[in-house]
């Protein structure tokens, strides 16, 4: 095994880049809490808002969609709108993350 004296400089540069990326990701995570996506179902009868941390912030249900005879339809619409809002939030996070990682898919992020 041959010793490469210049290898330390490359390692230091990589460590600096990793720290910078870590700082950028921490800042982005704070910002994502403030970014909100919205989804709707049932032709706008139900809307949901989710932030970049996939936290449900708001759900609105128009009274005309509430039918005591068909609670199952309402449940399906609520589930659909929440799942869509979460997916939009995840897509937004992936898009923002790729700006930091340069498109690299880093496991666990």
Secondary structure (DSSP) of 57-103: EEEEE-GGG--TT-HHHHHHHHHHHHHHHHHHHHHHHHHHHHHHHTT
pTM over 0.75: no
Kindly list the domain boundaries of the chain, sorted by start residue.
7-101
CATH number of 7-101: 3.30.1310.10
pLDDT of residue 47: 97
| pLDDT tens by residue, 3-53 | 555 556 788 888 888 888 888 888 888 888 889 999 999 999 999 999 999
User: Whole-number mean pLDDT of the chain?
Assistant: 86
């Amino acid at each position: 095994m041959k010793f490469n004296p210049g290898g330390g400089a490359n390692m230091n540069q990589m460590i600096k880049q990793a720290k910078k990326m870590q700082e950028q990701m921490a800042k982005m995570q704070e910002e994502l809490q403030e970014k909100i996506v919205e989804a709707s179902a049932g032709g706008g009868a139900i809307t949901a808002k989710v932030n970049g941390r996939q936290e449900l912030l708001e759900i609105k249900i128009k009274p005309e969609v509430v039918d005591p005879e068909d609670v199952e339809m309402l449940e399906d619409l609520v589930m659909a709108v929440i799942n869509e809002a979460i997916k939009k939030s995840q897509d937004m996070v992936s898009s923002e993350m790729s700006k930091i990682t340069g498109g690299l898919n880093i496991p666990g992020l």
